[in-house]
Amino acid sequence: MSTLFFSYSHRDEDLRDRLETHLAMLKHEGLIEAWHDRRILAGDEFDNSISTNLDAANIILLLVSPDFLASRYCFEIEVARAMERHVSGDARVIPVILRHCDWHHAPFGTLLAAPKDGKPIKSWPDLDEAFLDVVKQVRAALPQQQSVHRIASLGMPARSGSGPRSSNLRLKRSFTDADRDEFLHQAFEYMASFFDNSLSELEARNPSIKTTYRRVDANRFTAAIYQNGNSVARCRILLGGMFGGGISFSHNDRAGEGSSNEDLTVQSTDQSLYLKAIGLTTIGRYENKQLSIEGAAEFYWSLLIGPLQQA
């Protein structure tokens, strides 16, 4: 059995929890046992517990984000020791990119990162798909000689030698109307910034393209793309949505509040909030997806730029 160590910032604890959930099958098969600092018991010496488990790990997952890179403890102690063990061949370090950050210049910047192509998990339209990609890469990194025949023959999960306790400690979370409203406003503000920056970059990269972005008021913005002076794509994005509780998209930048081509509404699992399209458009990769804030912005951007890319 391989021991897996999570190095992460506490600001990313929710993402670490979700990744650990996705690693459940590897645990059930007796292939891994996982450790992170929330396993430290009251009265244990913090630094010594981390050092001991870091030195015992076969696989070290660096959960990379701006907060991770900004943490002196993560960067100067955990990353430094992890890379020493990686270079010596005593452990394998896998950077898992959670959020956009300047990780390529870090000591682990030359390592192949997960998910695929180092695309940050938070930028995937479906976070479960991103975590599954990480799990596949962890599975591929396990020693080939590892066998689970004994576990399979017993028909029961592997026992851990780290002490008698359950790893099933997750409790269902409930979300208030205030939580949903805050999530929706965060999504809209992110989307507004995303469109503004994307339009500027599109214009900078293409001499024939001109773009406009206009923040009409606190709850709406419009965008337009011109090619050789001719209008080729327009949109209006509205907080509140056609049904009053979401974010709506219209290809008509002068559309009224009751008109839209697509709407996103806030939904929830027992652990997190997400956005879901009601399905007025047919973009296959986003259909029936649990969209993160970043994924929702990518979805609406694809609606705007799609006609231009197909021309």
DSSP designation for 116: G
Contact 209, 219 (CB under 8 A): no
Q: Identify the residue whose tokens are 């029961």.
A: 156
Q: What CATH number should be reported for the domain whose range is 2-154?
A: 3.40.50.10140
Spatial distance between the Cα atoms of 61 and 232, rounded to a whole number of angstroms: 45
pLDDT per residue as tens digits for the range 228-254: 999 999 999 999 866 667 999 999 988
Spatial distance between the Cα atoms of 128 and 121, rounded to a whole number of angstroms: 9
Collect all residues with Cβ–Cβ distance below 8 Å to 111 and sequence separation of at least 6.
Answer: 86, 93, 94, 95
pLDDT per residue as tens digits for the range 104-115: 999 999 999 999
Spatial distance between the Cα atoms of 282 and 233, rounded to a whole number of angstroms: 17
Tokens of 92: 């394998």
Q: How far from 14 is each of 120, 134, 181, CA to CA, in Å?
A: 15, 16, 19
Q: Residues 99-123: what's their mean pLDDT?
A: 92
Q: Can you list the pairs that 301-310 forms with residues at least 24 positions away whose Cβ atoms lie under 8 Å?
A: 301/194, 301/195, 301/198, 303/235, 303/249, 303/251, 303/261, 303/262, 304/195, 304/223, 304/225, 304/233, 304/234, 304/235, 305/202, 305/225, 305/233, 307/232, 307/233, 308/225, 308/227, 308/232, 308/233
pLDDT per residue as tens digits for the range 253-293: 887 777 788 999 999 988 889 999 887 665 555 666 788 88
Full-model pTM: 0.57
